[in-house]
Structure 1
Amino acid sequence: MRYDLVVVGGGPAGLAAAIEAKKNGIDSILVIERDKELGGILQQCIHNGFGLHEFKEQLTGPEYAGRFIDQLKEMNIEYKLDTMVLDVTKDKQVHAINSTDGYMLIEAKAVILAMGCRERTRGAIGIPGERPAGVFTAGAAQRFVNMEGYMVGKKVLILGSGDIGLIMARRMTLEGAEVKAVVELMPFSGGLARNIAQCLNDYNIPLYLSHTVIDIQGKDRLEKVTIAKVDENRKPIPGTEKEYEVDTLLLSVGLIPENDISRATGVEIDGRTSGAIVNEAMETNIEGIFACGNVLHVHDLVDFVSAEARKAGLAAAKYIKGQLTNGEYIELKNGFGIGYTVPQKVRINNIDKGLEVFMRVRNIYKNMTLQVRDGENVILSLRKPHVAPGEMEKIMIPKSKLELIKGKEIVVELVGGDK
């Protein structure tokens, strides 16, 4: 089998990338999805709030996915469901398998990696205690409740205030469960401010910051969870323990980009994002292999995933047509307060109007200025009244500003304000 473009993953990133490549003149496209339907994680996100940027209206997850699936089908873009990609080689050969076609070797001129992310589990964070039934990741519980029709529990505690955890606090309440509390290790929430307001405050569910679970008890089913306050080193403080009699513990303790295939291929991974290191074209260190969406870095909003995926789809189309050019790289370095930036490096000659940079900050800061500088020369400066790790920031650096850069790197940092 031969295609111009193979997209690994049929979630929101893969769909948007494939559609954009098709719009830019690439007809031979295959989307490979391991699930039994397109749409990815959106299919189990039945709450609204999706599409405000993309469609200027509120949609549920399945509605949002449905619009892209309809476009994909109208454009006659080929896709394979229930198909597992086993390997992607550096020369862009894709090894895949399913029950209909058997083992497939697919040759491509370009590959877009759009595999999404997975949840951290109890084992990944090492919670002590017994191992009863009733401990779920928040996403697994969401699938059970929203798609499979199973209620996972009646008395619930949630560890982690990421967006999935917050949304499941509301969802479980609406299904008749009693959500005792949401417990967060950090001194700030990892979720969007709107989700704290709509999912916790509106339902009088308490949020305990700087707390964590220190013990799990239960013989067959979960019976009791003990939490405690933590100090500045995130160690439990003796004497602050609090016990909850619950039958369910949901874990919303972080998402990890799904990069097993990327690593095996030889794609360079950024230790800060756990995703690929990419350039302005969303291209990895392997020529012709691109990455976008949550496989690259974890996003807050699916609208931003779609926008980023379109960039990857356009760039892959340009690459296939020989329109991407090589040039000198400028590295993006992170100064005070910045956890990471995507992309991590840039060739100015491939930029049309400007460079969009996504980033997350390390802590909550107020009244800061976000600066981009070339040595001592400040090329861009933006006031930021409030920034938090739970909400991704993005800036646009105009090409005219980039062309003024004299050095081999630029620094993105927060200056001034209340640290």
Structure 2
Amino acid sequence: MKKDLVIIGGGAAGLSAAVEAKKQGIRDILVLERSPYLGGILRQCIHNGFGVHKYKEDLTGVEFAYRISSEALNADIECLTNTFALNISPQKVISAIHPEKGLFEIQAKAIILAMGCRERSRGALMIPGKRIAGIITAGTAQHYLNIDGYLPGKNIVILGSGDIGLIMARQFVMEGARVEHVVEIMPYSGGLARNISQCLEDFDIPISYNSTIVDIQGKGRVEQVTIAKVDENRCPIPGTEFELPCDTLLISAGLIPENELTRAAGIELSETTKGAVVDDNLMSSLEGVFSCGNVLHVHDLVDFVSMEGTKAGRNAARYLKMGAVENKAVSVKDGFGVNGVVPQKILFDGDDEVEFMFRPKNKYKNCKICIDVDGNCIKEMKKMVVTPGEMCSFRVERTLLNQAEQDITVRLEV
């Protein structure tokens, strides 16, 4: 099978990319989605807060998924569900498997990676204690409750303050369960400030910062957990332990981009974002392969995931029409307080603006975001507060960046 453009992932990023590529005149498009339905994780998100930027409406995740899926289907974009992409070769040959087609290959002229991300599990966090029932990730609990109609616990402790966990804390209370405690190892929340307010404070759910779980006890199922304070190295402090009865431990400790395919293709990955290293066209180190959404870097809002997918679709269409841009590129580096700026390379191509996105390493107040070109600040933006739970985004005129001879640095000044 041969296709002009193959998009791996049928969530917000992948479908937005497909719709935009079709608008740009690309007809031979195939979307591969491993689940039975399009829409990705949004299908299990019954809370609102989606679509404010993209659709100018406050939608639930389900409504957002329906809209973007309908856009793709109404545009007659070929979407193959229940299809698992197994491998991508450096020649852009995709190996995939389907229940009816079996194992098959697709030769693509261009590929957009939009596989999304997965949750950190108990194993990734190395939590000690018994391996018993009742230990699940927040996303799994969300699926149990919103898709299967099954309440996975009645007395819950949540480890980590990621957005999914905060939202589930509120929903558990509304469903009649009790959320005993939220435990966060950092001195600040990993989620949006609005979710701390609306999901914890409004429901009187306690949260302990600089804390972690050091033991899990129970016979067959979780019966209680032991919580302890941690020092500046995130190591438990002896003598600070206390026990808390519960029947469920919910893990909400961050997301990891699904980049196994990216790595297998030999594409350069960032140690910080865990996603592909891309230029400002979102093209990776493998020509013709683009990356967008949560597989590139974990976003805070689905609207921005969708917008980045649109950008990837537009740039992939341009690549299919014109080929790769033969132009000088300069590297972008993380400066003080910056954790994983995207893009990591800037092309000297055009006179438009370049959008930079990153998460701060810590919580900073009354600071500036500064752009240094060869060591000299060429633009700055004041911020009252920045936190790791929210993405920082800003635009810079490309003509200012084109002055760089060595590198560009994005940094915070506090």
For the superposition of Structure 1 and Structure 2, which TM-score range results when normalised by the shorter chain?
Answer: over 0.9
Q: Distance in 1 between matches of 2:29 and 2:284?
A: 20
- Partner secondary structure for residue 127 of structure 2: coil
CA distance in 1, matches of 2:351, 2:110: 21
Aligned residue in 2 for 1:18? 18
Counterpart residue number, 1:348: 348
What is the CA–CA distance in structure 1 between the aligned matches of 2:22 and 2:302, rounded to whole Å?
21
AA aligned opposite 2:327: G
Q: Secondary structure at the match of 1:300?
A: coil
Which residue matches 1:390?
Answer: 389
Q: How far has the Cα of 1:376 moved from its partner?
A: 3.6
The residue correspondences of 1:249-328 to structure 2 (distance < 5 A) are: 249-322=249-322, 324-328=324-328
Percent identity between matched residues is 53
Residue 374 of structure 1 corresponds to: 373
Displacement after TM superposition at 1:323 (Å): 5.0
| 2: CA distance, partners of 1:111 / 1:214 | 44
- Aligned pair 1:100/2:127, yes or no? no
Alignment-mate amino acid for residue 380 of structure 1: K
Q: How far, CA to CA, are the matches of 2:323 and 2:110 in structure 1? A: 13
The two structures, once aligned, show a CA RMSD in angstroms of: 1.0
Q: 1:74 to 1:293 in 2, by over 3 A?
A: same
- How far is the alpha carbon of 1:88 from its aligned partner? 1.1
Instruction: Write out per-residue CA displacement over residues 254-304 of structure 1, whole angstroms, 9 at most, x where no aligned residue.
Output: 110001111111011101011100011101100001110000010000001
Q: In structure 2, do the counterparts of structure 1 residues 352 and 3 end up closer, same or farther at CA, with 3 Å as the change threshold?
A: farther
1 CA distance for matches of 2:23 and 2:351?
A: 18
1:131–1:218 Cα contact (<8 Å) kept: no
Secondary structure at the aligned position of 1:373 is classed as strand
Please, which moves more after superposition, 210-219 or 405-414?
A: 405-414
Output aligned runs, 1:150-189, within 5 Å: 150-189=150-189
Q: Find the residue that maps to 1:321 and give its secondary structure.
A: helix
In 1, Cα distance between equivalents of 2:211 and 2:279: 38
Aligned AA for 2:405?
Answer: G
Q: Distance in 1 between matches of 2:70 and 2:364?
A: 42
1:334 aligned residue: 334
Structure 1 counterpart of 2:39: 39
Q: Give, as a single letter, the amino acid of the residue that structure 2 aligns with 1:383.
A: K
Aligned residue pairs total 414
Instruction: Report the 3-state secondary structure (helix = DSSP H, G, I; strand = E; otherwise coil) of the residue aligned with 2:6.
Output: strand
In the alignment, what sits opposite 1:413?
A: 411
Contact 2:155–2:247, Cα closer than 8 Å, also in 1: yes
Between the aligned partners of 1:138 and 1:149, the Cα distance in structure 2 is 15
Using the TM superposition, give the Cα deviation of residue 340 of structure 1 relative to its aligned residue in structure 2, in angstroms: 1.3
- Spell out, residue by residue over 1:50-89, the C-alpha distance to the aligned partner (whole angstroms, 9 max, x if none): 0111111110001001111111111100010101111111
Q: In 2, distance between residues paired with 1:223 and 1:144?
A: 20
The whole-number CA distance in structure 2 between the counterparts of 1:378 and 1:236 is 41
Deviation at 1:175, TM superposition (A): 1.0
CA distance in 1, matches of 2:155, 2:352: 53
Secondary structure in structure 1 of the residue aligned to 2:195: helix
Matches within 5 A, 1:13-162: 13-162=13-162
Cα distance in 1 for partners of 2:205, 2:347 equals 48
Alignment partners' CA distance in 1, 2:134 and 2:192: 27
Report the equivalent of 2:7: 7
SS in 1 for 2:37: coil
Distance, in Å, in 1 between the alignment partners of 2:282 and 2:404 is 23
Contact 2:351 2:399 in 1 (8 A): no
Structure-1-length-normalised TM-score: 0.97
Mapped contact 2:288–2:324 kept (Cα < 8 A) = no
Q: Per-residue displacement from partner, 1:81-134 (whole Å, max 9, x unpaired)?
A: 101111111111111111121221111110001000011110111111111100
When structure 1 is superposed on structure 2, of 375-384 and 11-20 the one drifting more is 375-384
Separation in structure 1 between the aligned mates of residue 217 and residue 344 of structure 2, nearest angstrom: 44
Q: 1:402: how far off?
A: 2.1
Q: Which runs of 5 or more residues in structure 2 are unaligned?
A: none
Alpha-carbon deviation of 1:369? Answer: 1.1
1:214 maps to which residue?
Answer: 214
Cα deviation digits, residues 15-64 of structure 1 (max 9, x gap): 00011110101000000000000000000111000011111111000100
| Cα distance, 1:377 vs structure 2 | 2.4
Provide the rounded CA distance (Å) in 2 between the counterparts of 1:334 and 1:97: 39
Give runs of ≥4 in structure 1 deviating > 3 Å: none
1:400 CA drift (Å): 2.8
In 2: Cα distance, 1:377 partner to 1:311 partner = 29
Q: Judge conservation of contact 2:287–2:324 (CA < 8 Å) in 1.
A: no
Relative to structure 1, is the Cα distance of residues 333 and 264 closer, same or farther in structure 2, using a 3 angstrom cutoff? same
Query: Separation in 2 of the partners of 1:83 and 1:323?
Result: 29
Normalising by structure 2, report the TM-score: 0.98
In the alignment, which residue of structure 1 is the partner of 2:237? 237
List alignment gaps of at least 5 residues for structure 1. none
